[in-house]
């Protein structure tokens, strides 16, 4: 009879799945990120005697920061974030800025919806690099002193994040919660708008 601890067997299965997905050409990063999230959330990695950071380096082959960034992106933005990350490294900030241009598994580039796929990698990388440059320039520009301009920018960023979240496959309870949040916010904003018009 094997003396292996059940948790070690479970961890082995998750590592094996992650490695198998890494060998697959289609949507591998999505599947790997899901495996990494399960290993992290379950705490199975602790059975190796390694810290989470050591486990990422030794077993996954990426830094803890890289793994956690992919997991966080998957949780916040959904699978499209990982598919885009297979083509070009993209930070959460850049993805939020790109979100209004993303529909399903395509990204708008120069007015055309381009599938997020390896064959379009050059165009997609170019679009992401342009967005990064624009964000960098925006950070370097002095922040506007006008509070209305500042709040307008923040509202646009929030709306973009909501758009990105709504494009994900959500559970019914998550959809209900998001819709409730949107409706409550819209009502409050309408009340403010009416007060300003008075």
CA-CA distance, 113 to 120, in Å (whole number)?
11
Q: Is residue 193 part of a domain?
A: no
Q: What is the pLDDT of residue 15?
A: 53
Q: How confident is the model at residue 61 (pLDDT cuts 50, 70, 90)?
A: confident
Average pLDDT over residues 132-151: 76
Q: What is the pLDDT of residue 55?
A: 92
pTM score of the predicted model: 0.56
Range of the domain at 59: 1-77
Mean pLDDT (whole number) for 77-98: 88
56: in domain: yes
Distance between CA atoms of 50 and 54, rounded to whole angstroms? 6
Strand ranges for 47-169 from DSSP E: 102-103, 106-109, 112-115
Confidence of residue 3 (pLDDT cuts 50, 70, 90): very low
5 domain-assigned: yes
In a domain, 173, yes or no: no
Residue 129, in any domain of the structure: no
Let me know if residue 123 belongs to a domain: no
Rounded to whole angstroms, the Cα distance separating 59 from 19 reads 10
Residue closest to 25 by CA, chosen among 119, 96, 140, 154: 119
pLDDT of 51 reads 93
**Residue found under tokens 């959330």:** 41
Report yes or no on 88 lying in a domain: no
Q: How many structural domains comprise the chain?
A: 1
| pLDDT-wise least confident of 31-35, 114-118, 168-172 | 168-172
Residue 41 maps to a domain: yes
Each residue of 91-133: pLDDT tens digit?
888 888 888 889 888 999 988 999 999 899 999 999 999 888 8
At 4, the pLDDT band (50, 70, 90 cuts) reads very low
Give per-residue pLDDT as tens, 6-30: 445 455 544 554 444 444 444 478 8
């Amino acid at each position: 009879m094997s003396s292996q601890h059940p948790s070690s067997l479970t961890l082995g299965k998750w590592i094996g799945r992650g490695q198998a997905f890494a060998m697959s050409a289609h949507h591998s990063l999505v599947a790997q990120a899901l495996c990494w999230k399960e290993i992290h959330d379950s705490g199975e990695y602790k059975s190796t005697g390694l810290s989470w950071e050591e486990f990422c380096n030794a077993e996954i082959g990426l830094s803890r920061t890289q793994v956690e960034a992919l997991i966080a992106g998957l949780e916040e933005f959904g699978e499209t974030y990982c598919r885009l990350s297979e083509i070009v490294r993209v930070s959460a900030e850049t993805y939020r800025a790109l979100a209004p241009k993303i529909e399903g598994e395509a990204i708008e580039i120069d007015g055309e919806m381009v599938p997020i796929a390896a064959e379009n990698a050059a165009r997609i990388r170019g679009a992401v690099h342009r967005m990064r440059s624009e964000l960098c320039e925006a950070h370097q520009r002095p922040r506007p002193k006008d509070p209305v301009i500042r709040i307008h920018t923040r509202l646009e960023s929030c709306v973009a994040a909501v758009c990105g979240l709504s494009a994900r496959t959500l559970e019914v309870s998550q959809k209900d919660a998001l819709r409730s949040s949107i409706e409550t916010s819209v009502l409050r904003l309408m009340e403010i708008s009416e007060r300003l018009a008075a």
